[in-house]
Each structure stands twice: as structure tokens, then as C-alpha cells.
């Protein structure tokens, strides 16, 4: 396989994976406009468990052995903790503000990768992370909306949970013969089962749902969860986790644009500048360090092989 072909495949993988945070950016508008108010746990449950059970039925593959524990851990981090915090932030903050808080995930991921993968963060990645956080600061600190402390903490904690789950997903990989679709089903189901008793104990019986709410949950479950997470896990299996997580910077861009166009949320000049800077951080985070050794291509059971480039200092 030529270098040009490998580069094209790598770029295609990044482009498809980037659709996930773009879709995630619509979560905030859907939540505030169509879903029952003040039900973050129920909303998280409805987004995760039905989609997970459908994927389990389609793939007919269940975790076993050590993967019972691993699937549970990944499901809790990527779904069981992340989803409730995501919706708590969405309910308490304007969509654009809630979305940009996820942009700090790359900084968390760099720290987790250093500890869990022994990957020393490269200078370019650190700069890209700082650029992204600076863009976030411009949007959040200069916005006209009042900030809710609980919402801000929830958004940051959710970003940390997602970053930890992404890095662990890369560390553990997948069992032989198990594709991203089955892994997505495992995690959504595990996360949904974690959320279910909390939703019942804290929020009580499910609320009555009208047509708009049902449509909103179907969108979040099918497009925003099953499809989006399949693309996300597929991307993690083919490119470095710290590169994938930088794509999360696209979520605030998407959320803010949707909030501006669909919800009439005003954006100041500084906020627009901040979104542009966050986008620049996304691009900078994808530029690989200069490689000196090329290992054989990593073979994925679900698609073309992608080369793993090893730098002199790390695999970031």
C-alpha cells in the first residue's frame, strides 16, 4: 500500500469520525426544545439502553471472560457517567456554552494517555489543547448568558469521563472477531443498566411523552448514539486516541452554530473568534509528530488497514 493511499485512508477515517462530535453538538438543542424538562437521568437512559439492546440483538455477540469487567468499566465511563452529566449540563446551560465545555476533553485525554498508555504528550498536542481551551474560554467567559456552576462542573466532569473512556478503549482494544458495532452495543447496554436504578431512585417514574419527545429520543438513540458511537469507536481503533479526542472540539462549534441558527442564541464577535480558535485547535491536534519508524499496518476486522507511526518519543 502506497503512502498516498494510507494517507487518504487515514484522512477518510478522521472525516467519518468527525461526524460524531458534529452530531453530538445537536444534543443540546434537541434536549432543550423537545425533551421533558429536568429529567437528565431519564433522558440519558432513553438515549443509551434501547440503542444498546438493539445493537446486541443485531450483532448477537456478548462479552465474556475479562471483557465482562472491561465492557462494564467502559460502559460506565463512556455512557453511564458521561450521559447524565452531559444532559445535566444541557438542561442548566445554553447549548453553545454547554457544548464548549466538552472542548477541554483533549487536555484530560493527554493526561490520561500519559498515565495509562505511557504516551508522553507531544509539544504540538499540548499547544493544540491550550488553543482549544483558549477558544472555549472566549466563548464561555465572554458570552451574554449567565453561567450555572452546577452545569459548568457537570460539563467539565463529563468531558473528563469521556476522555478516560476513550483512552481506556484504545488501551484495551477489542477481542478478536468483535467489531465496533458489537462493542458499541456492550457499552451502551452496560451504561444504560448503570443509569436505570439511579433514574428510578432520583427522578421517580418516567414522565408522559408526547410526539415531540418520542421523536427527540428516537433521533438521539439512533443517530446521536448508535450510529455516532459506532463511528467513534471505529475511529479509536484506527488512529491514536489523543487525535480522536481532539475531534471533540467540533462539538462546541456545532452546538453554537445550531444554537445561533435554530434557537436564536446570539453570538458576540469574541465568541465567534473563540469558535474559530477551537476549530484551529482541532486541526492542530490531528497533525502527527514526525515519524522515524513505520510499523506494519494495523488490521481492522471492519475496514482497511491503517499504519501506526511511531515517533522517537511516543505514539501520540
Using one digit for the tens of pLDDT, what is the confidence trace for 103-136? 778 888 899 999 998 888 888 888 988 888 788 6
pLDDT value at 309 more than 50: no
Range with lowest mean pLDDT among 17-21, 48-52, 116-120, 274-278: 274-278
The CA distance from 223 to 72, in Å, is 23
Q: Are 190 and 76 in contact (CB under 8 A)?
A: yes
Quickly state the pLDDT bin for 298 (edges 50, 70, 90): very low
Distances (CA, A) of 96 to 15, 103, 123, 197, 245: 23, 11, 29, 30, 19
| Alpha helices by DSSP H, the chain | 3-24, 27-34, 40-59, 66-75, 82-92, 95-101, 105-116, 123-141, 149-172, 180-203, 211-221, 228-236, 241-246, 250-262, 269-286
pTM: 0.79
**Read out DSSP for 187-213?**
HHHHHHHHHHHHHHHHH-SPPP--HHH
pLDDT value at 40 more than 80: yes
pLDDT one-digit tens code per residue, 180-221: 999 999 999 999 999 999 999 999 999 999 999 999 999 999
Interval 67-82 mean pLDDT: 95
Q: How many residues does the chain have?
A: 316
Find, among 28, 18, 47, the residue nearest to 97 by Cα: 28
Return the SS3 of 297.
Answer: coil
Domain layout of the chain by residue ranges: 3-310
pLDDT at 306 (0 to 100): 34
Amino acid at each position: 500500500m502506497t503512502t498516498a493511499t494510507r494517507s487518504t485512508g487515514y484522512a477518510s477515517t478522521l472525516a467519518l469520525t468527525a461526524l460524531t462530535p458534529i452530531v453530538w453538538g445537536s444534543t443540546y438543542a434537541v434536549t432543550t426544545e423537545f425533551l421533558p424538562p429536568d429529567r437528565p437521568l431519564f433522558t440519558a437512559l432513553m438515549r443509551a439502553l434501547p440503542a444498546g439492546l438493539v445493537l446486541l440483538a443485531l450483532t448477537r455477540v456478548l462479552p465474556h471472560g475479562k471483557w465482562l469487567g472491561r465492557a462494564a468499566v467502559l460502559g460506565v465511563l463512556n455512557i453511564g457517567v458521561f450521559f447524565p452529566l452531559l444532559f445535566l449540563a444541557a438542561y442548566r446551560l445554553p447549548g453553545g456554552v454547554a457544548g464548549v465545555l466538552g472542548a477541554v476533553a483533549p487536555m484530560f485525554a493527554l493526561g490520561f494517555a500519559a498515565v495509562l498508555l505511557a504516551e508522553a504528550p507531544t509539544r504540538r498536542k499540548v499547544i493544540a489543547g491550550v488553543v482549544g481551551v483558549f477558544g472555549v474560554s472566549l466563548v464561555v467567559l465572554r458570552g451574554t448568558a449567565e453561567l450555572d456552576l452546577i452545569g459548568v462542573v457537570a460539563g467539565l466532569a463529563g468531558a473528563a469521563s469521556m476522555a478516560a473512556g476513550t483512552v481506556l478503549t484504545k488501551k484495551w482494544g477489542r477481542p478478536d472477531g468483535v467489531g465496533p458495532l458489537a462493542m458499541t452495543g456492550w457499552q451502551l447496554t452496560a451504561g444504560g443498566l448503570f443509569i436505570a436504578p439511579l433514574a428510578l431512585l432520583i427522578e421517580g417514574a418516567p414522565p408522559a411523552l408526547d410526539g415531540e419527545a418520542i421523536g427527540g429520543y428516537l433521533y438521539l438513540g439512533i443517530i446521536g448514539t448508535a450510529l455516532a458511537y459506532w463511528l467513534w469507536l471505529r475511529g479509536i481503533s484506527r488512529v491514536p486516541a489523543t487525535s480522536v479526542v481532539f475531534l471533540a472540539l467540533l462539538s462546541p462549534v456545532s452546538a453554537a452554530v445550531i444554537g445561533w441558527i435554530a434557537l436564536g442564541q446570539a453570538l458576540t464577535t469574541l465568541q465567534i473568534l473563540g469558535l474559530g480558535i477551537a476549530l484551529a485547535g482541532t486541526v492542530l491536534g490531528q497533525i502527527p509528530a514526525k515519524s522515524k519508524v513505520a510499523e506494519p499496518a494495523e488490521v481492522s476486522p471492519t475496514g482497511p488497514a491503517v499504519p501506526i507511526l511511531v515517533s522517537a518519543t511516543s505514539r501520540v
